[in-house]
Amino acid sequence: MALLEVRDLSIEFETRKGNLKALERLSFTLNEGETLGIVGESGCGKSITSLALMGLLAPNARVSAGALRFEGKDLLAMNEEARSEIRGAEMSMIFQDPMTSLNPSFTVGFQLEEMLKAHPREEADRSPAGRRKRLVELMEQVGIPDPAQRLTCYPHELSGGMSQRVMIAMAVASRPKLLIADEPTTALDVTIQAQILELLRDLQRRYKMALILITHDLGVVSETAARTMVMYAGQAVEEGPTREVIASPRHPYTAGLLQCLPALHAKEAPKTRLPSIAGMVPDLLARPSGCQFHPRCSRAQEPCWQALPDWRVEGSRGERCHFPLTQAGGGQR
C-alpha cells in the first residue's frame, strides 16, 4: 500500500471575478521513504497542492478528489480533529515563508517544546527535563551551532538559514512519515541551500521519511528527488524518474524549461541567445481551450486546441500531451 495516494485532486477557489480552477485532476502516489520533486513556475499550483494534502487551504477553496488517502485512510472523509492529529504527528510541512510560520512573540525553544508536548515520540518527551535534552538534540541535528543558547532566541534574532533550520527541526520533531517542504531553500544562498538539502537527505535516510520537495529549481530536484512531477497551469504535464524526465522529457513544456536554463558548465557558447519559451502562462480565470500549453507550444496542432489530452501512464512515466516527444526526437539540450 502506498503511503500517499492522490487521484484526480482538483481545487477551485471562489473569487470575486468568478470561479478559479487552480488545480485540475492531479494524480500521484508516494511510498514510504520516497522523494517526489514537484517543479513548475509561479502560480502553477505547487503550494495549494501541499496545503490540500495538509488540509490547510483557505476557506474559499473547494477540494474534490477521486481518492486522497494517507496510509489507506480517506483524508477527505475525516473530521477536522482527526485530520489535525495526522497533521501534527504523521505528516508535517515546511512552509514557503518561514517568517509567517514561526510565531514572532515566542522563543524558538518554547515553540519547539509545544510541538514535543503535543506529539511525544519518546519517553523523554513527557518530562520537562527530557524535553530539554531532546530540544538541544534536535537543534544539533539540524546543524545549529550553540543550540542551548539559540533556543532562547526569538525568530527575528536568527538569520534566514537558521530560521529555515528551526522550521525543519519543528517539522521533524514528531518524526513524521511524510514531510512536505515547500521551497525550503529558495530564499537562501547556495552554500546554505547545499547544507539544508544535505540535512533533508540525511533525515530522510535516518527515519525512512517520505518527502515531497516543492521547488522551481530543476537543479534542486535533480540532486534530491528520485522522481519528479512537472506542473503547468494547475495540471501535471509530466511525471517520472527524475533522470529520465531530464534526459528525455516527453512534454514540450519540460523540454522547453530544460533548454532555457543556462548551464554552469555549458557546451553552448557564452553570450549567445538562449532558447526561450515565447509568451507567458495563462490567466487561470480565462484558460485556453484544450491543452493549457498549446498557445506557447511550437508543436501544437488541431487536437491540441480541441481537447485537453488525457493523463497517460506508460511504465514508470506519465504525461499529458497529444504529441509527446519521442526518445530520438529531442528534448536533449
Ligand X SMILES: Nc1ncnc2c1ncn2[C@@H]1O[C@H](COP(=O)(O)OP(=O)(O)OP(=O)(O)O)[C@@H](O)[C@H]1O
| Residues in touch with Mg ion (CB under 5 A) | 47, 96
Nearer to ligand X, 13 or 311 (CB): 13
Q: Are 7 and 66 in contact (CB under 8 A)?
A: yes
- Which residue number places its CB atom closest to Mg ion? 47
Q: Does 29 bind another protein (CB under 8 A)?
A: no
CB atoms under 10 Å from CB of 150, counted, come to 19
Q: Can you tell me whether residue 308 is helix, strand or coil? A: coil
Nearer to ligand X, 47 or 235 (CB): 47
In angstroms, give the least distance from the CB of 231 to ligand X. 7
What does the block give as the cell for 207? Answer: 527515519
CB atoms under 10 Å from CB of 29, counted, come to 16
In angstroms, give the least distance from the CB of 216 to Mg ion. 9
Sign of CA pseudo-dihedral 263, 269, 274, 275: negative
- Pairing of the two strands 4-15 and 67-70: antiparallel
In angstroms, give the least distance from the CB of 192 to ligand X. 12
Nearer to another protein, 6 or 284 (CB): 284
Q: Which of 312, 248, 329, 315 has the alpha carbon at shortest distance from 27? A: 312
Q: Which does 22 bind (CB under 5 to 8 A by kind): Mg ion, ligand X, another protein, none?
A: ligand X
Nearer to ligand X, 21 or 227 (CB): 21
Binding residue for another protein (CB under 8 A) from 77, 266, 285, 307? Answer: 266
Nearer to another protein, 32 or 41 (CB): 41
Q: Does 217 bind another protein (CB under 8 A)?
A: yes
Binding residue for another protein (CB under 8 A) from 194, 285, 307, 313? Answer: 194
Site pattern 219..238 for another protein (x: CB under 8 A): xx-xx---------------
Nearer to another protein, 83 or 333 (CB): 333
Burial of residue 23 (number of CB atoms within 10 Å: 0-12, 13-18, 19+) = buried
Residues in the site for ligand X, rule: CB under 6 A? 13, 15, 20, 22, 40, 42-48, 58, 60, 96, 216, 284
Residues 272-331 contacting another protein, CB under 8 A: 272-278, 280-281
Q: Give Cα 35 distance to the centre of its chain.
A: 10
Pure H helices in the chain: 46-54, 80-89, 98-101, 108-118, 128-141, 147-150, 160-172, 190-207, 218-224, 242-247, 252-260, 302-306
Residues 127-166 contacting another protein, CB under 8 A: 143, 145, 159-162
Q: Which of 41, 67, 40 has the alpha carbon at shortest distance from 53? A: 67
- To the nearest 10 degrees (0 to 180), the angle between helices 128-141 and 108-118 is 110
What does the block give as the cell for 46? Answer: 505547487
| Residue ranges that bind another protein, judged by CB under 8 A | 41-42, 143, 145, 159-162, 189-195, 197-198, 216-220, 222-223, 242-243, 246-247, 256-258, 260-268, 270-278, 280-281, 332-333
